[in-house]
Chain A
């Protein structure tokens, strides 16, 4: 059953929310030990909330759009009184005294969070292998990674543990695992979904977004979490979420651009697998068959994304992660002075990938280099925005592969950080420009693993990505 079907059944009294939740909890209990999608299953809280929803239905009181629908919450969203770890030892024992805005909105909509899902520590990674609590495995093939950093949420939705999931995307952390796990994942326009209560990786790139098994559920989830939040200064006012409304609109006459640099040709980004490129080409054909006007387009700056990203992201992360000093919450390893205590705590509490990025960011910002590295990277963002603005004069949406390859084997890429980073090449431009992008499953690769196709749109045209994704979903 889809999320919307479950919610309809619960609202009408046809199904009890408690039964729905119990069913999903049973599935998690049986199968999650093999996948490790969850850091924490909050069964009691979920049951209590479900019971309250059932009582409200019986009493004829209004219940939300997602009444009784089980939800996976990435473990970097703050949940009041419930451990929030970011899959890091350094947040050991921390129970936030507040809820993230997105958590509040979803609870008010009746969605029932069944637990906190695994991620690469502090969302730094593309495989969910960099977790202090062990890797999550891909439900389609447990020897492979689910992608990351929102690998736990992607796996939860792919395994049928929950129809809905919430993730965060800084360089592809929603779209890439969605592609690897064969589900729908979407990164909204920066500022459309509140970041309040999302533990920051890179503040100017992070965005919270929906996961679902199908486009309609993802669109409905997007419509619930989108909207202005006065607690987030970067939140856009007056954004009207209309994703659900355009799902039936089709693509007749829509101008679709195929990004040349990400289509495998010479002069473009190397390393894109043939099977992934083939599925992407088929997806484009499907859009053309549905009436879209398709053309190839060059977006030169799309190849610059990786360079700028690996300056901006670690720089902001190094500053955002300074607060883990052993004083107010989380892990403390003793030391003779506060400085020694903080150093001992951070050394013991952070994993290698986090340390690597803190080092990278600290170096890039340190004396004399800030303008050269960070300052220049911000200018590259401006150039990318202008480049994409030019392209969007001629096109409504752009299509690319979501990932260079299908899901890889566990352990295959952890040794060389650069190889791992290249994995994000298709998804990173949208984070730097702040534009919306969706990954929708489209067939499988030569290895039988899911392939994701990415649809990009200009800022605030989030609904457009769902509209195109709905057509691709139907054609896949």
Chain B
């Protein structure tokens, strides 16, 4: 087991991306690009606000950069669960009427949407 010294912030030369360097140069353009990825249309003042706040929050988060974590396994679950599976047995599906009841626009038992541009991936 690692000792606690590994938790003491030390400069980490091995890190390929310097988080602090990244967050210090968060730009409006990046915020606009991220908003597009997230399908959000931000007003000008929101873009300014988020540019500033994202920088501030991520700079705080960049504390983790100082940690020497190269040989640490990531944890996405606190318990070591594995191979959780179910048998390949059919269970009941939903009634279509109940499924469609809350849909904004329906036609012929399908969800109707405005034109889709581009291709499926």
Contact = CB atoms under 8 A, between A and B. Distances in A.
Contacts of B54: 359-360, 363
B22 A372 contact: yes
Interface string B68-102: 01001111111101001010000000110011011
B103 A337 contact: no
B17 A383 contact: no
B2 interface: yes
Contact of A355 (B4, B40, B105): B40
Q: Is the interface of B mostly helix, strand, loop or mixed?
A: loop
B46 to A, nearest CB: 8
A473 B16 CA distance: 51
B11 to A, nearest CB: 15
Interface residues of B, number: 64
A327 B58 contact: no
A288 to B, nearest CB: 26
A300 B7 contact: yes
A434 B79 contact: yes
A356 B53 contact: yes
Interface residues of A, number: 80
Contacts of A373: 19, 58, 61
A394 interface: no
Q: Is the interface of A mostly helix, strand, loop or mixed?
A: helix
A372 B17 contact: yes
Interface string B1-26: 11010111000000111010010001
Interface stretch (A12-20, A26-34, A178-186, A342-350): A342-350
Given A311-B64, A332-B104, A369-B17, A338 B115 contact: yes
Contact of B115 (A95, A332, A337): A337
B113 A306 contact: no
Contacts of B105: 332
A191 B38 CA distance: 29
Interface string B44-56: 0010001001101
Contact of A375 (B63, B74, B111): B74
A366 interface: yes
A330 B61 contact: no
The CB with the most chain A CB atoms within 10 A, among B26, B40, B75, B111, is that of B75
A59 interface: no
A418 B102 CA distance: 37
B75 A385 contact: yes
Contacts of A336: 114-115
B77 A362 contact: no
Top 9 closest pairs, chain A to chain B, by CB? A434-B78, A378-B74, A332-B104, A379-B69, A381-B75, A307-B63, A379-B72, A372-B17, A382-B75
27 contacts: A95-B102, A97-B98, A190-B79, A191-B79, A191-B81, A234-B77, A326-B104, A327-B104, A328-B111, A338-B114, A343-B39, A350-B40, A355-B50, A360-B57, A363-B54, A363-B58, A366-B33, A371-B16, A372-B22, A373-B61, A376-B19, A382-B73, A387-B4, A418-B53, A418-B60, A433-B78, A459-B79
